């Protein structure tokens, strides 16, 4: 009789240990449905014109020769286009002047210089380690161009000059 109790107790302990390691405890199975998810502020659109219909403005132009273009809005006050040009992926943004840090890039760069683009705006180019950011403002809009890899100042200037 004692051996049956020992075997039963051992089986129970082994089963409980297995449940602990697999996470199949009643507490692990219970779902908390009261959590609220933060909605994604990015909405994808089929074209620049569709963005204009949605938020009232969009890109007047993007550089020639771009491929893999995707269009987005963010929080109903920012237009974004992601694309590839010359093998480098870029993110271009346009927003109204009241939006702060419209580029969405939160890092410091080692190098920087200001140059005038073809439209006459002063553009701040910041870069290091293959990444680059260009930001500028006009009377009605703020702009940014960012590439995470493959930064080349001449290539970035071509993109900046093609964006309006």
pLDDT on residue 3 = 61
42-162 is a CATH 3.30.200 domain = yes
Of the candidates 15, 92, 90, the residue with the CA atom closest to the CA atom of residue 48: 92
Task: Give the strand order in the sheet containing 131-137.
Answer: 42-45, 67-74, 78-85, 88-95, 142-147, 131-137, 122-128, 111-116
- C-alpha separations of 144 from 72, 85, 157 in Å: 14, 16, 12
Mind listing the pLDDT tens digit for each residue in 70-85?
999 998 899 999 999 9
Report DSSP state, residue 140.
S
How much is the pLDDT for 44? 96
- What the block records as the tokens of 11 is 């089986």
Answer for the pair 163, 63: CB distance below 8 angstroms, yes or no.
yes
pLDDT, tens only, 11-66: 555 554 554 455 544 444 445 556 777 777 899 999 999 999 999 999 999 999 99
Contact (CB, 8 A) for 91 and 133: no
């Amino acid at each position: 009789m004692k051996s049956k109790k020992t075997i039963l107790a051992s089986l129970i302990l082994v089963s409980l240990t297995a449940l602990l390691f697999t996470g199949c405890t009643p507490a692990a199975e219970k779902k908390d449905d009261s959590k609220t998810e933060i909605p994604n502020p990015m909405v994808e659109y089929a074209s620049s014109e569709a963005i204009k219909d949605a938020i009232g403005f969009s890109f007047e132009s993007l550089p020639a020769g771009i491929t893999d273009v995707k269009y987005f809005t963010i929080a109903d006050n920012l237009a974004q286009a992601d694309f590839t040009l010359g093998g480098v992926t870029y993110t271009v943004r346009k927003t109204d002047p009241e939006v702060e840090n419209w580029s969405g890039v939160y890092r410091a760069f080692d190098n920087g210089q200001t140059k005038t683009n073809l439209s006459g705006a002063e553009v701040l180019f910041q870069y290091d380690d293959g990444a680059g950011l260009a930001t500028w403002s006009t009377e009605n809009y703020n702009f940014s161009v960012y590439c995470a890899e493959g930064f080349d100042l001449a290539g970035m200037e071509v993109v900046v000059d093609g964006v309006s």
